Amino acid sequence: MAVAPAHYDAIVLGVGGMGSAAIYHLARRGRRVLGFEQFDIPHELGSSHGITRIIRLAYYEHPSYLPLLRRAYELWRDLQAAAGEQLLFLTGSVDAGPPDSQVFEGSRKSCEIYGLAHEVFDSAELTRRFPGYRLPASTMAVFQPEGGFLTPERCIVAHVNLALAAGAEIHAREPVLAWEPTANGVRVRTARGVYEADKLVLSAGAWIAKLATPLAQVAVPERQVLAWFQPARPDWFGPQRFPVFNVLVEEGRYYGLPVYGVPGFKLGRYRHLDETVDPDTVDRASHLRDEEILRHFAERYFPAGAGPTMGLRACMFTNTPDGHFILDVHPEYPQVCIASPCSGHGFKFCSVVGEILADLAERGSTRHDIAMFRLARFKS
């Protein structure tokens, strides 16, 4: 007689930044939850590796992110207390660009709307305060003291360890091959077996469009490259003296972080080479042309940080057409939740996205305002 598949309250597909947080919240609420990860936990083949990720309250992308950011900070602090390990480091954040740019103006607007502490500097004042910065003379900058960085691999490990302690089951190196709706839930087939659950959370990062066809044109993976350069003035590039940044210059929009964890001042460029990729075949090596783009920027705008290369690492963004997240229930199957919060700025939200996904899996709705992240906005 065939043995019935094991049954869970929820299955979480993908144990990266978002999935690990969803499993943690579901397990803490007493749910029987099972997570599948195709690679190791953590790993360097998706979107959540590279030692540091920027977190900031000043949010030029849209002021509506602020309530979620506040909850995200609260939950990161809870997580690091529970894990007994510092995961959140405050350095302040700088958002800088031409006076009429979205990076500067949008950031200032978000500070004003929400009454966030902030200072506005011209380029000369920015360099006086933070000597690593040498931005064009016409640049204007918003400094917000609560910005900083998270340690992404450690955040995933913390969520996973605490989820396991709360009773979750997690299988690494077990790729999900397919899922299908059933009369009262979902059935998931992996390389090792068949499992059933009332609810399914799809948190598959760059692979999500392969697992949810409605996302085919709207969750598009892009190759990114990060560089770490050895500063000639290490005293200007440590977390005490160097705020995380987003800057818009004539070459494009870039982000950067102080030296932490591994040698080197870290930076990357949004729309690095504008390469749309398949996550299964993406070029994960880093090449001279990748390095040259990032070195040119560092030499011009952070010259004391542009010493010998210490590291290069490829990673993937998953971009939506408007740069905002997708957090929703599946349009055809209400028992399935979809999380694609990336477009290059999602990691800082993992903690609150985990809470939202647990809400959606439990009852199909959440107290958080996620109206801006509905999938239906992309329908013409």
Ligand X SMILES: Cc1cc2nc3c(=O)[nH]c(=O)nc-3n(C[C@H](O)[C@H](O)[C@H](O)COP(=O)(O)OP(=O)(O)OC[C@H]3O[C@@H](n4cnc5c(N)ncnc54)[C@H](O)[C@@H]3O)c2cc1C
Interaction site with ligand X (CB under 6 A): 13-19, 36-39, 46-48, 50, 53-54, 175-176, 203-205, 207, 224, 226, 255, 268, 315-317, 341-342, 344-348
H or E element at residue 313? strand 309-319
**Distance of closest approach, residue 88 Cβ to ligand X, in angstroms:** 12
Of 168 and 316, the one with the shorter C-beta distance to ligand X is 316
Q: Which residue is nearest to ligand X (CB)?
A: 16
> 168: closest CA among 41, 354, 30?
30
**Distance of closest approach, residue 349 Cβ to ligand X, in angstroms:** 7
Of 38 and 144, the one with the shorter C-beta distance to ligand X is 38
Judge contact between 269 and 297, C-beta under 8 A.
Answer: yes
**Distance of closest approach, residue 81 Cβ to ligand X, in angstroms:** 21
Residue 17 backbone phi and psi in degrees, to 5: -60, -55
Of 37 and 290, the one with the shorter C-beta distance to ligand X is 37
Return the SS3 of 193.
Answer: coil
**Distance of closest approach, residue 1 Cβ to ligand X, in angstroms:** 29
**Distance of closest approach, residue 224 Cβ to ligand X, in angstroms:** 4
Distance CA 314, CA 229 (A): 15
Of 111 and 314, the one with the shorter C-beta distance to ligand X is 314
For helices 152-165 and 17-28, angle between their N-to-C axes, nearest 10 degrees:
30
**Distance of closest approach, residue 124 Cβ to ligand X, in angstroms:** 27
Of 72 and 141, the one with the shorter C-beta distance to ligand X is 72
9's tokens: 């309250």
Query: How many CB atoms neighbour CB 241 within 10 A?
Result: 16
Of 227 and 249, the one with the shorter C-beta distance to ligand X is 227
H or E element at residue 77? helix 66-83
Judge contact between 219 and 327, C-beta under 8 A.
Answer: no
Angle value at C-alpha 265, between 262 and 271, nearest 5 degrees: 110
